[in-house]
Amino acid sequence: MPEFVMELDEDQRGVRDWIHGFAADVMRPAAAEWDEREEFPWPVVQEAAKIGLYSLDFYAQQFFDPTGLGIPMTLEELFWGDAGLGLAIAGTGLAAIGVLTSGTDEQIGTWLPQMYGDAGDVKVAAFCSSEPDAGSDVSAMRTRAVYDEARDEWVINGTKTWATNGGIANVHVVVAVVDPSLGSRGHASFIVPPGTAGLSQGQKFKKHGIRASHTAEVVLDQVRVPGSCLLGGKEKLDERLARARERARGAGGTANSSNAAMATFEASRPAVGAQAVGIARAAYETALDYARTRVQFGRPIIDNQGVAFQLADMRTRIDAARLLVWRASWMATTGRPFTSAEGSMSKLFAGETAKTVTAQAMQILGGNGFTREYPVERMHRDAAIYTVFEGTSEIQRLVIARAVSGVPIR
């Protein structure tokens, strides 16, 4: 089992430099345009697919890197390039993780290739969990899946919201309630194949940041999917529901703990933290370069302690966030349990770091930082979501507090 390391090996550095080159040469020159357009950047994703950066093979190689550092390294570089474009390239990964964590080998082999397509026919996928009245409170989920035994089909009805790639995806992974009496334990995940009748895109959101990433509602109206589209299969689901019912009876109430959506989010939190580290690093580097060249009162502003100390704090937080992300990624890859909610720690600290560092970068740039002539304004807008999506900072603190105290804090 690999030991935890704090530096990349030669092969990993080669991959990192290759991604960095794409981020610098392709993503950064296009970032402002796609932010203004607020459209999904198909040409940029296609360029990534042409060189193999957007492909199932590449992400599988990084996902199965035995050190656990392949995915965070990749995401940090992409989001250093630009967060909106980075999420357009990486957004399919959340749906892929949903299948990897819950699906059978046959389902993984069938659906993951269809999520990415190929260089000549690029596809994306969407993970659909949140609802208008069920965000952090997953037990409030209302989207319902009912089994039609005569036809061996599941019938899904409901509305999902805040779905990255929702409605434009080739494959949608949908979390739905199969047993309302079990609360969050009565959920399951389903594949909705391409072209399935009844699935449509609802409202497309106009966002404060990450504007190049497509975010929309997904409406499911009498959507029928084959029984084989239940991730993990019905036998496994029936066994899990039976255990949950037994525990609920033993506890004298409803069992509310881990579920299909939370399993996906817990696996993805270090990856989201890596995205935030990339944004923070980009803002820090911009501010550092500016401070070295901006002259006021006859000298570069970095000569002033007020500026230099800010940069010192920024770099310290970024390095600390990266180490938390790497630790959690290594733990997940090597099968070590998050006994102290290390995945949530990494996402919490990295997300808060991105917000803080991008705000400090704007301050260092002064009036220029507030304009769209410089990228830190966009980075600051992009960073704001990292204390909100895939579990708000408040939810991360709740998860950590419960883990370290053993008390069901509310």
Q: Facing residues of 172 across strands? A: 126, 192
Asked if residue 176 lies in contact with residue 169, where contact means CB atoms within 8 angstroms, the answer is no
What is the mean pLDDT of each successive set of 10 residues along the chain, which is 410 residues long?
87 98 98 98 98 96 94 98 98 94 96 97 97 82 97 98 97 97 93 98 97 98 98 95 86 50 70 97 98 97 97 98 97 93 97 98 97 97 96 94 94
pLDDT score, position 1: 67
What are the two backbone dihedrals, phi and then psi, of residue 107, each rounded to the nearest 5 degrees? -65, -40
260-405 CATH pick, 3.40.50.300, 1.20.140.10, 3.60.150.10, 3.40.50.1370:
1.20.140.10
Residue whose tokens read 């029984």: 227
| Superfamily the domain 125-251 falls into | Butyryl-CoA Dehydrogenase, subunit A, domain 2 (2.40.110.10)
pLDDT at residue 80, as a whole number: 98
CATH tag, 10-122? 1.10.540.10
Q: What integer pLDDT is reported at residue 144 of this predicted model?
A: 98
pLDDT of residue 255: 44
Which two tokens mark 240?
């899990």
Contact between 266 and 94 under an 8 Å Cβ cutoff? The reply is no
Kindly list the domain boundaries of the chain, sorted by start residue: 10-122, 125-251, 260-405
Of 165, 2, 161, 256, residue with least CA distance to 175: 161
Per-residue DSSP letter, 160: E
The reported pLDDT for the residue numbered 135 is 74
From the candidates 285, 373, 390, 394, which is the catalytic residue?
A: 390
State yes or no: is 373 an active-site residue.
no
**C-alpha–C-alpha distance, residues 180 and 197, integer Å:** 25
